Structure 1
Amino acid sequence: MSYREGRFWQPDVTVATVVVRDGRLLMVEERAQGKLVFNQPAGHLEPDESLSEAALRETREETGWDVKLTAFIGAYQWKAETDRHYLRFAFAAEPLAHDAARELDEGIVQALWMTPAELQEQQARHRSPLVWQVVQDYLAGRRSPLSMLQQIA
């Protein structure tokens, strides 16, 4: 059970949401490690929160958009160069309403709609390889029912 140097290993559990409107993807431009990067609305799972609740909250906090989750795209495991391990749970969603007056999360420069081609052209500025992989899977039609994910109380 122990990890290097007596520490316990625990991956970062994150959620991401692919929101599509008129063929465009809702993305965030954010500051991360001193760079301006692109990401889906995404963030960490908080205590006492389901994965779907986290996806809805993060999307609202980072973009000002309320969305309806429509499908589960997949689960992704990635080890960053910093040796941090991430487990990302990705969802597909439809936009419902936008609150233009909402202040966006710290670090978020802007929320914007990009075509898949525009996003791919900016691949060097993706926050992680997970960004494009999730979009590729979405575009390939990878969808599972939300009922695949269950929270046991």
Structure 2
Amino acid sequence: MTERYRPNTTVAWVIESPEGFLFVEENIHGNMQFNQPAGHIEAGETLIEAAKRELHEETSLQLEPEGLVGIYQFPNQSGKVVYLRFCFYAKLAESPALLPIDPAIHACHWLSRDDIAKRSLRSQFVLTCTDDYIAGKRFSLDLLHCQLH
């Protein structure tokens, strides 16, 4: 019998403002890396609740997602852990001040797509999600059906 497949389910954001895309700089095992605001779902949370919580913890922003950019399945660098990532998006008319609440977040940045590509990224899918957003990939939140509460 094969082992049951259990990917780590995560949420992430592509947030665009006039100054660029929102990225967080975080310390991962002693290395500073860039990522979209993102994280794991906690027990009892819907995907949208998890996305809103992670965004607030990492940037102090409180937003409602406008929709999904995509759903991504990929392994970590060792190949031993697989992630299932739900990437949400929002577009802002202004670039608000950002203040990380989570101590693991070193700083928040507004970056152009070219600047993003030059950074040490947490995963290749950070750039893939951004490129999908730039390419106009958008999906309705109606795709998600949650009955936890």
Q: TM-score, normalised by structure 2?
A: 0.89
- Uncovered stretches (5+) of structure 1, i.e. residues with no partner: none
**Bigger share in strand:** 1
- Give yes or no for the alignment of 1:115 onto 2:98: no
Which position in structure 1 is the counterpart of 2:64? 68
- Residues 101-143 of structure 1: per-residue CA shift (max 9 Å, x gap): x552131101111111111122xx0001110010010000000
Which position in structure 2 is the counterpart of 1:24? 20
Match of 2:137 among 127, 137, 142: 142
Return structure 1 stretches of 4+ with deviation > 4 angstroms: 95-100
Percent identity of equivalent pairs: 35
- Residues 66-115 of structure 1: per-residue CA shift (max 9 Å, x gap): 12211111110111123111000000014589575x55213110111111
**Bigger share in helix:** 1
| Residue identity in the other structure for 1:32 | I
- Uncovered stretches (5+) of structure 2, i.e. residues with no partner: none
Match of 2:90 among 88, 93, 98: 93
**CA–CA separation in structure 2 for the residues paired with 1:81 and 1:127:** 10
Aligned pair count? 146
Aligned-residue Cα RMSD (Å) equals: 2.0
**CA–CA separation in structure 1 for the residues paired with 2:130 and 2:104:** 22
- On the 8 A contact 1:67/1:94 being kept in 2, the answer is no
